[in-house]
């Protein structure tokens, strides 16, 4: 294995595009076949649950590709460990980002109410019974967080970093991550969170804290959807928005976590591409 070898940026981008296109095509095909066969509601629901595991391809395919090409998978996917301090700052950052993106959504809703098709897209996230909870939690929280961070903050961002500016790599990776969600209504929030996921992954040279933040966000979203938590929570909300004092605390927490991460000893970076 050549430990100094990484994919070219175009090579990495093309692989991301191929994986995304393949998953999209497979999802559409399954949906068309299910409707054509007029499947029962139970079978249709089983297919919806099965689709949660398709995101694992975001990790499986690039992992196989990297192994075949002889790339250093630990460095390429940023699988190295992170200290307890890093996880602590990641947790603080995750809480702050959840609050800030919540307010972003509330502001966007003033000018553009949530479209009906977005509500339809979230229907598979509604669960009933222990088995469905287990499947959806595994798929949307665990698999989605690990696979997406490995592909984007690992495989793609590392490839871009080795051939250009780190800031540009973080931004381009966040743009790519936003596009694959195919959700214009949440595009700003997704991009915003992606910037900080890329930042922390690059700073500590590990995707593990980014996985934690990603999983926190997905878990809270899943709980809010299923338990229909009121948007106007006492002390948290004010006139349909996040309370100013909560926003101030969230901004302070974000600043605190960034400062804390910046002061930690920097890990040995992945070697440059030859």
Identify whether the C-beta of residue 160 lies closer than 8 Å to the C-beta of residue 175: no
Q: How does DSSP classify residue 140?
A: I
Among 55, 35, 54, residue whose Cα is nearest residue 44 = 35
Q: Is a pLDDT exceeding 90 seen at residue 229?
A: no
Lowest mean pLDDT among 46-55, 93-102, 138-147, 255-264: 46-55
Q: Is a pLDDT exceeding 50 seen at residue 227?
A: yes
High-pLDDT (> 70) share of the chain, %: 91
Can you tell me the distance from the alpha carbon of 153 to that of 151, in angstroms, rounded to the nearest whole number?
6
Name the more confident of 96 and 36. Answer: 96
pLDDT confidence of residue 231: 64
Q: Is a pLDDT exceeding 50 seen at residue 101?
A: yes
Q: Is a pLDDT exceeding 80 seen at residue 118?
A: no
In sequence order, which residues have a C-beta less than 8 Å from that of residue 153 and are 6 or more positions away?
78, 173, 197, 198, 201, 207, 210
pLDDT confidence of residue 200: 97
Can you tell me the distance from the alpha carbon of 238 to that of 241, in angstroms, rounded to the nearest whole number?
5
Q: Is a pLDDT exceeding 80 seen at residue 162?
A: yes
pTM metric for this prediction = 0.90
Per-residue pLDDT tens for 235-273? 899 988 999 999 999 999 999 999 999 999 876 554 444
Per-residue pLDDT tens for 45-90? 777 777 788 889 999 999 999 999 999 999 999 999 999 999 999 9
pLDDT confidence of residue 2: 47
High-pLDDT (> 90) share of the chain, %: 64
Under the banding of pLDDT at 50, 70 and 90, the label for residue 39 is low
Alpha-carbon separation of residue 131 from 113, 134, 217 (angstroms): 33, 5, 22
Per-residue pLDDT tens for 182-222? 888 899 999 999 999 999 999 999 999 999 999 999 999 99
């Amino acid at each position: 294995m050549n430990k100094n070898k990484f994919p070219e940026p175009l090579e990495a981008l093309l692989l991301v595009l191929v994986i995304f296109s393949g998953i999209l095509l497979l999802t559409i095909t399954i949906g068309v076949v299910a409707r054509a066969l007029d499947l029962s509601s139970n079978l249709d629901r089983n297919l919806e649950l099965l689709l949660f595991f398709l995101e694992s391809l975001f990790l499986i395919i690039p992992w196989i590709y990297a192994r075949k090409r002889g790339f250093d998978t630990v460095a390429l996917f940023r699988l190295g460990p992170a200290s307890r301090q890093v996880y602590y700052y990641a947790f603080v950052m995750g809480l702050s980002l959840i609050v800030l993106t919540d307010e972003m959504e509330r502001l966007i809703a003033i000018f553009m109410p949530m479209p009906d098709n977005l509500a339809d897209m979230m229907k598979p996230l509604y669960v009933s019974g222990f088995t469905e909870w287990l499947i959806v939690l595994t798929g949307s929280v665990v698999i989605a967080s690990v696979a997406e961070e490995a592909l984007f903050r690992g495989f793609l961002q590392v490839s871009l970093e080795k051939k250009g500016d780190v800031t540009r790599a973080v931004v381009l990776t966040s743009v790519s991550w936003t596009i694959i969600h195919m959700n214009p209504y949440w595009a700003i929030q997704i991009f915003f969170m992606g910037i900080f996921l890329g930042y922390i992954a690059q700073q500590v040279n590990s995707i593990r804290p980014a996985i934690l933040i990603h999983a926190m966000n997905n878990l809270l979203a899943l709980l809010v959807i299923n338990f229909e938590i009121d948007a106007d929570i006492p002390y948290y909300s004010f006139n349909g928005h996040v309370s100013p004092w909560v926003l101030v605390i969230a901004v302070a927490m974000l600043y605190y976590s960034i400062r804390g991460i910046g002061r930690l000893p920097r890990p040995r970076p992945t070697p440059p591409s030859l």
